[in-house]
Amino acid sequence: MVVQVNCLPVKYFEPDAERVEEQETSMAIIRANRVAVLFPVIALLLLIVGSILSVLGNIRQDCKTLIAAVIYILSGLSVAVGIILYISAINDEVGHRLSKKSDDKDSTFSYSYGWSFYFAGLSFLFSMLTAVTLVSLYLQRNSKTEDMIKIIPGLEDLLEVETSNETGVDNRERPPKATIII
């Protein structure tokens, strides 16, 4: 038994067309995934920038660590958006179609996700975990009140008002000696 296969060129940059029921399913999926591919690529670029800032911030022990944490969060969200768009593209293009190979008229296509899809989900989790770790490291290094005053705008004024209210003496010339324990 010889199976005839029709190979078609993939037209990645063809203008978007409306969905046609007789359209080849593989071509429709490729066209629908063009949008979904952009977000993992953005996430990769953000991960590279975040990794560089993380290393520099941990070596110099400065605010680049916090910036890297924010970039890791944005990267994780970009991966999540890419995964959602991928799932939507597959479901929109294949979910409503009937399988031509089956004799049953109510049979739809069946598909499953591969290991790369599950690793993309894990990359979202690890990106968020890395962001939490970077924030924790930064806050551990900068747990003194003087360090927190540099991080949080207006904290110095708030601490001055609190200490003057507790003692009844105006302490605006002296820096507070309390430490924040995290």
pLDDT 10s digits, 59-70: 998 889 999 999
Structure tokens at 177: 């000696």
Q: Does 17 fall in a domain?
A: no
The string of DSSP codes covering 31-88 is HHHHHHHHHHHHHHHHHHHHHHHHHHHHHHTSTHHHHHHHHHHHHHHHHHHHHHHHHH
Q: Please state, rounded to an integer, the average pLDDT across all residues of the chain.
A: 79
67 in the same domain as 94: yes
pTM (whole model) above 0.75:
no
Distance, CA of 162 to CA of 129 (rounded, Å)? 35
Q: Does 16 fall in a domain?
A: no
Q: Does 14 fall in a domain?
A: no
Q: What is the pLDDT of residues 119-174, one digit of tens each?
A: 999 999 999 999 999 999 988 888 787 777 777 777 778 777 777 666 655 555 55
CATH of residue 47: 1.20.140.150
136 in the same domain as 109: yes
Rounded to an integer, the average pLDDT of 112-125 is 90
Distance, CA of 134 to CA of 100 (rounded, Å)? 52
> Considering the chain, what percentage of its residues have pLDDT values greater than 90?
34
Q: Does the pLDDT of residue 102 top 60, yes or no?
A: no
121 in the same domain as 102: yes
Amino acid at 148: M
Give me the torsion for CA of 27, 31, 34, 37, rounded to 10°. Answer: -40
97 in the same domain as 37: yes
Distance, CA of 126 to CA of 72 (rounded, Å)? 9
155 in the same domain as 132: no
Q: Does 67 fall in a domain?
A: yes
Q: pLDDT band for 12, please (50, 70, 90 cuts).
A: low
By the 8 A CB rule, do 86 and 36 touch?
Answer: yes
| Predicted local distance difference test score (pLDDT) of residue 55 | 95
Distance, CA of 131 to CA of 67 (rounded, Å)? 10
49 in the same domain as 64: yes
Q: What is the pLDDT of residues 36-60, one digit of tens each?
A: 889 999 999 999 999 999 999 999 9
Q: Does 12 fall in a domain?
A: no
70 in the same domain as 40: yes
Q: Does 40 fall in a domain?
A: yes
Q: Does 2 fall in a domain?
A: no
Rounded to an integer, the average pLDDT of 101-111 is 62
Rounded to an integer, the average pLDDT of 13-27 is 59
Q: Does 15 fall in a domain?
A: no
Rounded to an integer, the average pLDDT of 18-24 is 57
Q: Which domain holds residue 154?
A: 144-182
By the 8 A CB rule, do 53 and 64 touch?
Answer: yes
